Structures are given as C-alpha cells and as structure tokens.
Amino acid sequence: MGNCNQVQADESEEAQRARAVDLELAALEAQEENNFKILLLGAGESGKSTVVKQIKLIYKGGVSKKEREEYASAIRRNCIESMQTLLEAMVTLKIQFADENLIPVGEKLEDLGTEGTLTEELSFEIDSLWRDAGLQECYERRDEFWLLDACNYYFENAIRLGEDDYVPNDEDMIMTRVRTTGIVVTEFDDDINKYQLVDVGGQRSERRKWMHCFDDVKAIIFLEGLSSYHQVLFEDSSVNRMHESLQLFGDVVKNPIFEGTPIFLFLNKKDLFEDMIKKTSLKTCFDDFEGEEGTAMPALDHIKAKYNAVMQQHCPGKDLEISIVAARVRMDMKIAFADVKDSIKKLYKSKKLYKKPK
C-alpha cells in the first residue's frame, strides 16, 4: 500500500511539472503571437529610411537630441554634395552658367571635396547657384544622371540650413538622406503587440546582409519609388531603377523562406511621380504601356500590374497588398502602416497563410 501511494505521489508531481511546462510553453506561444518582425526591403533610394524615420516619429514620440544633431550634420552634407553632383553634371552635359560671375563660386564649391562644411557664407552661394538658369537647365535633365530626389528641398532651404543655430525640424529629418549600411532595427509597442521593423541597405553591396534578417519574419514591406521609372541606379547609371526593383522583388517573392510570409508593396514617392508623368511617358521604362499619356492613374495601374504579374509568376494565388504613398507625408505612412498591422494580425490569428499549390 505504501509503495502504491508513493507511485501515485510521484505521478502527481510529474503531472504537475508537465502542466507547468505546458503552461509556460502556452505563455511563450501567446507572447510570440503578439510579436511581429517586419522586414523592410527594396532597392537603394526607394525610401526605406524615410519610412523608419516616420515610424519613429509616429510610434516612439520623436528622436533624441543626439540623433537630431546627427541629422543637422547629414542634411548640410546632402546640400553640399547634391550641388557638387549638379556642377559635375553641368560639365558632363556641357551646360554653362547663365551668370558668368558664378563660375568661380562653382569652382570653389567643387574644390571643397567631401570635407566641406555648410557655413552661412556657403549657404548663400548655393542659393545663388540654384537660382541660375544654366544650373536649372541641368536640373531639368536629372534623369540622365544620379541625383538625390530631395536636392531641391536642400537648395530651397540652404540659407536656413547654414545658420549657426540651425536645429532640424521634423520635415528636415524626413528629407535627410543617410545611406543605410548594415542592419537597423526599430522596436516599438502598440497596445499588447510588439513590433520590430528591420531595415537593411538597398544598394547592391548591402544585399548580402539581408540573409541575416530572415529568421522569424512575420511580414515584408517592399518599397519602390514610383519616380524610379525614369531614373538610374547609384551603382550603375546604365540600369533603370524600376527594372532593378522588379528583378529584386522577384528574388524576394520566389525565396522559399517567404512562401507563407505576407508581402506588402509600398509604391512610394507618388508626389514626384505625379509631376514626372506629366512630362515623361511611362514608355521610357515599359514599351508595352498603352494607357493615356500625361495622367497618373493609367501609369500607376500599369506599374501595379507589373508587380502583381511577378507575384503570380512565382506564387500563384498569393495576395499582394499595394499602397500608393508619399513616405515624406506623415498621414500617408500612418494609414499605410496601420493597414499592414491590421492585415498581419488578422492573418496570423486566422492562420490562413499562403501555401504554394503543388
């Protein structure tokens, strides 16, 4: 009888331990259900870093004083380097200054190299260069060379950026271009859910690092700048940016690691696109475009169809949610990212993730 009681006691203790382990595993599983790792992918200059900055401002309440100081330094460099790029392009395209008095000003700026600082004096000189008709002629031909999309913002605000007591505002930070190298992880909470937004560099040299981010990904946001249909790569001026993006998108969606992973496409820079499409046909990128020229919607539909075709080629029947955004606009990002959060929560709760047909 005593041995029987001992066996029952041992079984009771073992059952309690088993229940404790089950409860712990259930708690971990429940916690994991509320953790969402979102991978932010796209070619260089697509706007991934702008999305990250907006998410920080929306969900984390802004940036630190140190970050703001770093943005001040970066946007001043953006201003100088963008003007240097235009001055180099003027030589290549054989365009002259309308005002010959600006020739030594341009030479002085070119001689600064990569170490120049945006002083108050230099900011007024950049402002003068920007107003020159010859330089504006070069700017109008910017599709023929690589140039930062936001350069006109830097030039139009050059005098303010050069002030001794300059402190960047939120829009300045959004417009600042800092090339992403390595992996940048932004974490934030929203109610009971925890999010990790993982951004990696989009230039070709940075893409080998993407593999390190592929574990436990709950969703992918793929970015493409709409204005890229008439722009070239930073790394190779012979390659159209949108063609590169479509190829990269195909590489992502056909990766077996992401078979069941929801993929969201953000077609970014709609503001630049709406201006560009009035002057430059989408046929410069896609010769099969037959829509109405000079209007945005037919061209947008054609671009969306191109990405959907890539998705269906590699993952028949898989949904692709597409948002048309200007990442620099806070409300655009607030709405688009809220849609992503709602969609992935519903998908993982219902467990209706995509499976490739056999």
Active-site residue (options: 96, 180, 196, 203): 203
Q: Is 199 tagged catalytic?
A: yes
CA atoms within 13 Å, Cβ hemisphere of 329: 12
The length of the chain in residues reads 358
Strand order in the sheet with 193-200: 183-190, 193-200, 35-42, 219-225, 263-268, 321-324
User: 18, exposed or middle or buried, with CB in 10 Å at 0-12, 13-18, 19+?
Assistant: exposed
196 given a catalytic annotation: no
Type and span of the H or E element at 193: strand 193-200
- Identified catalytic residue from 77, 142, 177, 241: 177
The CA distance from 47 to 42, in Å, is: 8
125, 149, 199, 224: which is the annotated catalytic residue? Answer: 199
- For residue 252, what are its two tokens? 């992502």
Instruction: Give the Cα separation of 217 and 258 in Å (integer).
Output: 8
Cα separation of 284 and 344, whole Å? 36
Q: What DSSP assignment string belongs to 32-82?
A: HHTEEEEEEEE-TTSSHHHHHHHHHHHHS-S--HHHHHHHHHHHHHHHHHH
Tokens 């260089």 map to which residue? Answer: 44
Can you tell me the distance from the alpha carbon of 270 to that of 188, in angstroms, rounded to the nearest whole number? Answer: 27
Distances (CA, A) of 339 to 29, 221, 266, 322: 24, 12, 11, 10
Tokens 């979102």 belong to residue? 38
- Distance between CA atoms of 176 and 58, rounded to whole angstroms? 17
Count Cβ atoms below 10 Å from residue 308 Cβ, excluding itself: 14
Q: What angle do CA 98, 103, 105 make, to 5 degrees?
A: 120
Q: For residue 231, indicate whether it is catalytic.
A: no
Residues labelled catalytic: 45, 50, 177, 199, 203
